[in-house]
A and B are shown apart, each in its own frame.
Chain A
Amino acid sequence: MVESDVNVAAGAEYEDRSVRAVIAPGDLVTMVWRSLFLQASFNYERMQACGWLYGILPALKKIHVNKRDLSSSMLMHMEFFNTHPFLVNFIMGLVVAMEESKKDQSTIRAIKVATMGPLGGIGDALCWLTLLPITAGLGASMAMGADPNPAGPIVFLVLFNAVHFSLRFGLMRYGYHTGVRAIATMKEKTKQISHGASIIGLTVVGGLIASMIKLKIAWVIVVGQASIALQEKVFDAIMPNMLPLAYTMFMYYLLKKNYSPVKLILLTIVIGVAGKGIGIF
Chain B
Amino acid sequence: MEVTLTQTLLVTLWAFIIGIDQFNGLLHIHRPLVTGLVVGWILGDIQTGLITGATLELVAMGMVPLAGAQPPNMVIGGVIGVSFAIISHLPPEAAVAIAIPFAIAAQGCVTLIFTAFSPLMHKADRWCVQCNTGAIAMLNYAGMATHGAFFALVTFLPIYFGASSAQAIVESVPAWILGGLGTAGGMMPAIGFAMLLKIMLKKEYIAFMLAGFILVTYFGISILGLAVLGACVAMYDFYANGSDRGGRNIKQGVQQNGGI
A binds B: yes
Chain A interface (Cβ < 8 Å from any Cβ of B): 1-2, 4-6, 8, 11, 36-47, 49-51, 53-54, 57, 61, 67, 70-71, 74-75, 78-80, 82, 85-86, 109-110, 113-114, 117-118, 120-122, 124, 128-129, 132-133, 136-137, 139-141, 143-144, 148-150, 152-154, 156-157, 160-161, 164, 189, 191-193, 195-215, 239-241, 244-245, 247-249, 251-252, 254-256, 260-262, 264-266, 268-269, 271-277, 281
The answer, yes or no, to whether B94 is at the interface (CB within 8 Å) is: no
Given A2-B129, A43-B115, A117-B223: A136 and B61 interface contact (C-beta under 8 Å): yes
Q: Do the beta carbons of A67 and B181 come within 8 Å of each other?
A: no
Q: Do the beta carbons of A50 and B36 come within 8 Å of each other?
A: no
The answer, yes or no, to whether B167 is at the interface (CB within 8 Å) is: no
Number of interface residues of B (CB under 8 A): 111
- 16 A-B pairs (CB sep. < 8 Å): A41-B142, A41-B143, A45-B192, A75-B128, A110-B200, A117-B223, A148-B50, A152-B54, A153-B34, A196-B237, A199-B237, A200-B231, A207-B213, A268-B184, A273-B181, A276-B183
Within the complex, the shortest CB–CB distance from B124 to chain A, in Å, comes to: 5
Q: Do the beta carbons of B200 and A209 come within 8 Å of each other?
A: no
Q: Which residues of chain A come closer than 8 Å to B131, judged between CB atoms?
A: 67, 70-71, 74
Q: Do the beta carbons of A41 and B140 come within 8 Å of each other?
A: yes
Give Cα A260–Cα B198 distance, bound, in whole angstroms. 12
Q: Which residues of chain A come closer than 8 Å to B234, judged between CB atoms?
A: 195-197, 199-200
When C-beta atoms are compared, the residue in chain A nearest to B57 turns out to be: A140
Give Cα A195–Cα B222 distance, bound, in whole angstroms. 23
Contact of A150 among B37, B67, B143, B233 (CB under 8 A): B37
The answer, yes or no, to whether B161 is at the interface (CB within 8 Å) is: no
Q: Which residues of chain B come closer than 8 Å to A41, judged between CB atoms?
A: 117, 120-121, 124, 139-140, 142-143
Q: Which of B8-16, B23-31, B149-157, B251-259 lies on the face that meets chain A? A: B23-31
**CB-CB contacts below 8 Å: B66-119 with A:** 66-69, 111, 114-119
Give Cα A41–Cα B117 distance, bound, in whole angstroms. 7
Q: Which residues of chain B come closer than 8 Å to A240, judged between CB atoms?
A: 217-218
Give Cα A11–Cα B202 distance, bound, in whole angstroms. 15
Q: Do the beta carbons of A272 and B180 come within 8 Å of each other?
A: yes
Q: Do the beta carbons of B140 and A43 come within 8 Å of each other?
A: no
Give Cα A92–Cα B91 distance, bound, in whole angstroms. 46
Q: Which residues of chain B come closer than 8 Å to A196, judged between CB atoms?
A: 231, 234-235, 237-238
Within the complex, the shortest CB–CB distance from A90 to chain B, in Å, comes to: 13
Q: Which residues of chain A come closer than 8 Å to B27, judged between CB atoms?
A: 157, 161, 164
Q: Which residues of chain B come closer than 8 Å to A133, judged between CB atoms?
A: 61
Additional pairs, 11, CB under 8 Å, beyond known A46-B192, A80-B196: A39-B23, A45-B118, A57-B136, A70-B131, A78-B124, A129-B64, A139-B33, A195-B238, A205-B209, A210-B213, A214-B186
Q: Which residues of chain A come closer than 8 Å to B141, judged between CB atoms?
A: 40
Q: Which residues of chain A come closer than 8 Å to B114, judged between CB atoms?
A: 42-44
Within the complex, the shortest CB–CB distance from B32 to chain A, in Å, comes to: 9
Q: Do the beta carbons of A6 and B227 come within 8 Å of each other?
A: no
Q: Do the beta carbons of B125 and A271 come within 8 Å of each other?
A: no
Q: Which residues of chain B come closer than 8 Å to A249, judged between CB atoms?
A: 194
Interface of chain B, helix or strand or loop or mixed?
helix
The answer, yes or no, to whether B133 is at the interface (CB within 8 Å) is: yes
Within the complex, the shortest CB–CB distance from A191 to chain B, in Å, comes to: 3
Q: Do the beta carbons of A120 and B26 come within 8 Å of each other?
A: no
Q: Do the beta carbons of B144 and A40 come within 8 Å of each other?
A: yes
Q: Which residues of chain A come closer than 8 Å to B144, judged between CB atoms?
A: 37, 40
A-B contact count (CB 8 A): 398
The 8 closest A-B pairs by CB, nearest first: A206-B212, A272-B184, A214-B186, A273-B180, A191-B246, A196-B234, A276-B180, A203-B230
Q: Which residues of chain B come closer than 8 Å to A195, judged between CB atoms?
A: 234, 237-238, 246, 248
Q: Do the beta carbons of B194 and A248 come within 8 Å of each other?
A: yes
Q: Which residues of chain A come closer than 8 Å to B190, judged between CB atoms?
A: 209, 213, 215, 244, 247-248, 251, 268
Q: Do the beta carbons of A38 and B61 come within 8 Å of each other?
A: no
Q: Do the beta carbons of A261 and B191 come within 8 Å of each other?
A: yes
Given A42-B114, A203-B208, A252-B197: A273 and B121 interface contact (C-beta under 8 Å): no
Q: Which residues of chain A come closer than 8 Å to B3, judged between CB atoms?
A: none
Give Cα A256–Cα B189 distance, bound, in whole angstroms. 17
Given A49-B121, A120-B67: A144 and B51 interface contact (C-beta under 8 Å): yes
**CB-CB contacts below 8 Å: B193-239 with A:** 193-202, 205, 208-218, 221-224, 226-227, 229-231, 233-235, 237-238
Q: Which residues of chain B come closer than 8 Å to A245, judged between CB atoms?
A: 213
Interface centre among A38, A211, A256 (most CB of B within 10 A): A211
Given A157-B28, A264-B191: A40 and B140 interface contact (C-beta under 8 Å): yes
The answer, yes or no, to whether B260 is at the interface (CB within 8 Å) is: no
Q: Do the beta carbons of A109 and B200 come within 8 Å of each other?
A: yes
Q: Which residues of chain A come closer than 8 Å to B69, judged between CB atoms?
A: 214
Given A164-B26, A200-B230, A207-B215: A268 and B191 interface contact (C-beta under 8 Å): yes
